[in-house]
Structure 1
Amino acid sequence: MSHNDEFTEHDWRRLLASLGEDPNRPGLHETPARVSKAWKHWTSGYGQDPVSVLKAFEDGAEQYNELIVVRGIPVYSHCEHHLAPFFGKATVGYLPNGKIVGLSKLTRLVDIFSKRLQVQERMTMQIANALMEVLEPKAVGVVVKCRHMCMESRGIRTQGEETITSCMLGELQPNLALRTEFLALARD
């Protein structure tokens, strides 16, 4: 089903009935419409182009040659295996090569990829690859720390565990000093 093929209220009513609920009871009467609206929001990243968000600026950036890092970027996503939420924080950094991007654009980039059905590992790489492709910086680093409700609320039921993923591109791969600096800046 593509993003344009929306679940109808009838579909959500059928889901409620299949769970053993009465979709006509007062507390659930408006639930199908609310759930439909919520899932449109939670998957709105499919309709957004990451490239269009990353408008680069060249004014004043030509001489800047240090890491630019934004940390604490909120991540709210749903795993593609159970449709369960996962949430946490991302840190995104890059070493410019004559171009910079508005800092809020890094947050928007994370938001675009998190508002899709995801696995954290792929999302981390997508964020890094998009930044590398569009800005062509010397280096890109992304660290994502999330809690997964599929682990906390079912199965092994381990509350509070965080999964940490990272992606280092460009000079962050071979340059240990630069990598160490990025990871120190990314640390809480």
Structure 2
Amino acid sequence: MAPLDAYAESTAPDSSLAPDSPLDTSDRPGRREAEHAIRTLIAYIGEDPAREGLMDTPARVVRSYDEYFGGYNEDPAAILERTFEEIDGYDEMVVLRDIEFVSHCEHHMVPIIGRAHVGYLPRRRVVGISKLARVVEIFARRLQIQERLTAQIANTLSDVLEPFGVGVVLESEHQCMTTRGIQKPGTSMVTSRMIGSFREDRATRQEFEAMIGLHRRR
């Protein structure tokens, strides 16, 4: 059995492993194995991985994967640990909109390019606004489907900050359907996850949607 085939068998899906959980470090292949896999793919499409223009491509691709999928190496909950309670009684919604992100579809490993809108209603503390964008970024830099990405962002904010409510809306274009398959460029997908007051109180949800301009874009 070839080394890559053996690795594929040894890493077959485990139903006990959460979709966003990274493999244990000891189970992950090294950089050389990853570069070998890229050379195999180059040969598979009919190219010569040894020609001058492609000789360094495997190393470049692996370095880009380190960047694209760096979210597996970070803990989004830890990003939200530092909060601020001196808010002088502020009890209105906090919204960060138009957070640009790039993720990758777990079915075809091609980009999902979009914007996230995140809001929460503080109970007694707030978090630095850059941390909201960081949570989006960490989850986006993993293999994803948009529905799960939306839920992960909202659930993490709710669990860690314990606000009255959380609202998350994602709008994105999936290159798995715009550049291949059905090939419908310009098509966008919208998903939302509402928790607490954002789900239970119609007025709160409508205020959030108005603040992010969701209805104006439809």
In the superposition, the TM-score normalised over structure 2's length comes to: 0.83
Measured after TM superposition, the shift of residue 55 of structure 1 is: 2.6
Letter in 1 for 2:183: R
Supply the distance in 1 between the matched residues of 2:52 and 2:44 (Cα, whole angstroms). 18
Letter in 1 for 2:186: G
More helix by share: 2
Match of 1:5 in 2: 29
Greater relative contact order, per chain length (Cα 8 Å cut-off, separation 6+): 1
Letter in 1 for 2:48: D
Question: For the Cα contact (< 8 Å) 1:147–1:162, is it kept in 2?
Answer: yes
In the superposition, the TM-score normalised over structure 1's length comes to: 0.95
Question: For the Cα contact (< 8 Å) 1:91–1:144, is it kept in 2?
Answer: yes
Matches within 5 A, 1:143-158: 143-158=169-184
Deviations 1:138-175 (Å, cap 9, x if unpaired)? 01000000000000011110011110000000111111
Match of 1:134 in 2: 160
Supply the distance in 1 between the matched residues of 2:104 and 2:183 (Cα, whole angstroms). 17
Supply the distance in 1 between the matched residues of 2:152 and 2:108 (Cα, whole angstroms). 21
Supply the distance in 1 between the matched residues of 2:91 and 2:148 (Cα, whole angstroms). 28
Measured after TM superposition, the shift of residue 8 of structure 1 is: 2.6
Q: Where in structure 2 are there 5+ consecutive unaligned residues?
A: 1-10, 12-22
Is it true that 1:90 corresponds to 2:116 in the alignment? yes
RMSD over aligned CA atoms reads: 1.4
Supply the distance in 1 between the matched residues of 2:106 and 2:151 (Cα, whole angstroms). 16
**Sequence identity of aligned pairs in percent?**
46
Q: Where in structure 1 are there 5+ consecutive unaligned residues?
A: none
- Count how many residue pairs are aligned between Structure 1 and Structure 2: 188
Supply the distance in 2 between the matched residues of 1:117 and 1:94 (Cα, whole angstroms). 26
Letter in 2 for 1:15: L
